């Protein structure tokens, strides 16, 4: 364990020992809910071999630990129930929490579902409707895999060419710049990286297909919208964004999913305009990547979540520091 990780764990242990984590949980008093955000559940070796984007993965062991903590200390409800209660001003149980996943990775079936089934806990997975059952992953994964094939100096050159912050990790810096770029201009920005690195090798399917989604739905998992192509809605024109939102809902409903009209904004990017477009497309609720607790005063189409990944939640004390969050004021 590196010094920063050790210090983080020691701080979490101190907060647990002092009672700060318990006091934070008391804020979930029937008026607020903690909505957890996950992406991938993968063994360390698999995550390393696939050069998974930083902050996107927990190991199966950590995920099982999280579920154990949730079962002991929280009341886990389907996200749809929490969203409906908040909209209606109805009280929540003390310790209300929901489990969500973004993107629709196949490892959610392989590693997350068995753990959820063992404890009979509900979850919601936000899927990219136009990418279901398709090969490959998403462009951030391509960036991570191509950067992993380069030596450190070459990574820094690519990051500098993108005007990424000098102090940041080259991969994280490059991703930060590329996520802010207009969708139509991203391929041009990626050209130097693509020219300097080998194409990622084709591997086993990484995204769920419709049969797998149906299988998970029969096990009690809700599937809702994460857009049609995962385009960042604030980086495309409003007409295209409206089409992304509308077509995603239509595809899900054609397959018998999206029953609760919920949305997770791709890459967490939203503003007043995209919120209005989501409402016009028929969404009843939406989640963001902004950190916080959801309550009745939170806009139904801008519910905050608590992002979890291996680096910040590998022990019980760290998880209970993150959920509901000893540093969150709301």
Average pLDDT of every residue of the chain: 94
| 31-45 tens-digit pLDDT | 999 999 999 999 999
Q: How many other CB atoms sit within 10 Å of the CB of residue 284?
A: 16
> Which burial class, exposed, middle or buried, applies to 111 when counting CB atoms under 10 A from its CB (0-12, 13-18, 19+)?
buried
CATH architecture for segment(s) 3-136+202-322: Alpha-Beta Barrel (3.20)
Percent of the chain with pLDDT over 90: 85
Provide the 8-state DSSP code for 234. Answer: G
> Per-residue confidence at 54, pLDDT binned at 50, 70, 90?
confident
Residue extents of the structural domains in the chain: 3-136+202-322, 147-196
- Average pLDDT for 71-86: 97
Considering only 107-116, 237-246, 288-297, 320-329, which range has the smallest mean pLDDT? 320-329
Mean pLDDT for 43-59 is 93
Spatial contact of 136 and 50, defined as CB atoms under 8 Å apart: no
Task: Please state the rounded mean pLDDT for residues 307-320.
Answer: 93
- Residue 330: pLDDT band (50, 70, 90) is very low
> How far is 203 from 218, CA to CA, in rounded Å?
28
- This prediction's pTM: 0.95
Question: Quick one: average pLDDT of 72-93?
Answer: 97
Q: Which two tokens stand for residue 142?
A: 């391509």
Let me know: does 76 contact 120? Beta carbons within 8 Å. Answer: no
pLDDT digits (tens, 9 = 90+) for 86-133: 999 999 999 999 999 999 999 999 999 999 999 999 999 999 999 999
pLDDT of 28 reads 97
How far apart CA 8 and CA 49 sit, in angstroms, is: 26
Confidence of residue 327 (pLDDT cuts 50, 70, 90): low
């Amino acid at each position: 364990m590196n010094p920063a990780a050790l210090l983080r764990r020691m701080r979490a242990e101190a907060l647990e020992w002092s009672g700060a984590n318990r006091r934070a949980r008391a804020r979930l008093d029937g008026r607020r809910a903690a909505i957890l955000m996950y992406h991938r559940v993968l063994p360390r070796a698999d995550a390393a071999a696939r050069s998974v984007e930083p902050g996107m993965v927990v190991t199966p062991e950590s995920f099982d630990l999280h579920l154990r903590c949730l079962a002991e200390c929280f009341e886990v409800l389907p996200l749809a129930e929490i969203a409906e209660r908040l909209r209606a001003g109805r009280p929540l149980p003390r310790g209300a929490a929901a489990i969500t996943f973004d993107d629709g990775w196949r490892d959610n079936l392989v590693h997350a579902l068995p753990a959820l089934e063992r404890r009979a806990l509900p979850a919601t997975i936000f899927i990219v409707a136009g990418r279901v059952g398709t090969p490959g992953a998403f462009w951030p994964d391509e960036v991570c895999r191509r950067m992993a094939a380069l030596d450190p100096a070459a990574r820094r050159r690519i990051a500098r060419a993108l005007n990424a912050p000098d102090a940041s990790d080259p991969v994280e810096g490059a991703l930060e710049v590329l996520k802010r770029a207009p969708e139509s201009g991203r391929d041009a920005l990626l050209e130097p990286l693509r020219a300097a690195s080998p194409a990622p090798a084709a591997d086993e399917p990484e995204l769920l297909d419709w049969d797998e989604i149906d299988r998970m739905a029969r096990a009690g998992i809700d599937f809702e919208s994460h857009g049609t192509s995962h385009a960042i809605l604030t980086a495309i024109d409003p007409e295209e964004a409206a089409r992304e939102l509308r077509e995603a809902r239509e595809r899900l409903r054609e397959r018998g999913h999206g029953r609760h009209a919920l949305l997770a904004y791709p890459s967490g990017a939203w503003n007043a305009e995209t919120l209005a477009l989501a409402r016009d497309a028929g969404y009843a609720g939406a989640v963001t990547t902004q950190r916080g607790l959801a309550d009745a005063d939170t806009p139904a189409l801008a519910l905050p979540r608590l992002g979890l990944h291996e680096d910040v939640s590998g022990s019980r004390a760290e998880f209970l520091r993150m959920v509901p969050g000893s540093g969150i004021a709301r």
